[in-house]
Structure 1
């Protein structure tokens, strides 16, 4: 799978030390220029549906599980591996100096109608919900959140906005020619 980017959080001084390694699988589900994304009220941002890959779990199996849980999607078809983002950022745990997250992105197709979500407790508490949104609108929204540097802003918004911009650049141009 191609590496799309390596993102290093500006507060990170070094990439050595006690590293927490995490892997995640994330879905790119597209209808025209609209993407199926997760809106999180707590952070006021948009992100790709997906989540952690358990030890020994196949990334595609994790992707299907997470996409179904978070969005209620059914008949999930993984079309192809899109790429990875390697991310290095501070870790809040006293047991680790930093976190290295590898996010595996896959393009997917799903049935038109979304079913019932099965969000985890913290996802419900954070006000997460699946939404179809124009990719340019999602980028503009996340950029505005980054510009405000709101105290409630999460760390993942940098990765998500970078990937939204990458996906948008590869989509057909919008009808108005922007």
Structure 2
């Protein structure tokens, strides 16, 4: 989930990866992508249910396996208090678009940002 607060984008740091990413995770059997997105927001950063806007889906090979990633956007006026699970997600950073180049980002986040710029 790409979470925007104004123009800024929320990045999360997981305990098992060196790159920054978006909140998200796997879809459970029989689960819709939007339901998985809502569940992951609650599990990872403690956000309540918000209306998410589906934006794109990309396929790629990340972490050594072929995967399809469904992207959703959430636009907020202010960032509510986050409750990190401190197991999987250990840090967050709200970053301006012009600062994104200074972060090591996961492949899916790079693909999302490339799509926002039109390639």
Check whether TM > 0.5: yes
Report the 3-state secondary structure (helix = DSSP H, G, I; strand = E; otherwise coil) of the residue aligned with 2:103: helix
Indicate the residue corresponding to 2:83 in structure 1. 116
Taking a change above 3 Å as real, the CA distance of residues 43 and 57 of structure 1, as seen in their structure-2 partners, is: closer
Would you say 1:134 and 2:107 are equivalent positions?
Answer: no
Taking a change above 3 Å as real, the CA distance of residues 130 and 100 of structure 1, as seen in their structure-2 partners, is: same
Counterparts of 1:137 and 1:73, CA distance in 2: 24
Report the 3-state secondary structure (helix = DSSP H, G, I; strand = E; otherwise coil) of the residue aligned with 2:13: strand
Would you say 1:162 and 2:111 are equivalent positions?
Answer: yes
Structure 1-normalised TM-score?
Answer: 0.55
Runs of 4+ in 1 over 6 A off after TM superposition: none
Whose relative contact order is higher, 1 or 2, with alpha carbons under 8 Å and at least 6 apart?
Answer: 2
Q: Unmatched 5+ residue regions in structure 1?
A: 1-26, 92-98, 144-156, 171-178
Structure 2-normalised TM-score?
Answer: 0.77
Counterparts of 1:73 and 1:163, CA distance in 2: 21
Counterparts of 2:39 and 2:63, CA distance in 1: 28
Q: Unmatched 5+ residue regions in structure 2?
A: none
Taking a change above 3 Å as real, the CA distance of residues 117 and 54 of structure 1, as seen in their structure-2 partners, is: same
Counterparts of 2:101 and 2:47, CA distance in 1: 23
Would you say 1:106 and 2:72 are equivalent positions?
Answer: yes
Indicate the residue corresponding to 1:65 in structure 2. 39
- The structure with the largest alpha-carbon Rg is 1
Would you say 1:83 and 2:83 are equivalent positions?
Answer: no
Report the 3-state secondary structure (helix = DSSP H, G, I; strand = E; otherwise coil) of the residue aligned with 2:43: helix
Report the 3-state secondary structure (helix = DSSP H, G, I; strand = E; otherwise coil) of the residue aligned with 2:93: strand
What is the RMSD of the two structures over their aligned residues, measured on CA atoms?
2.6
Aligned length: 117
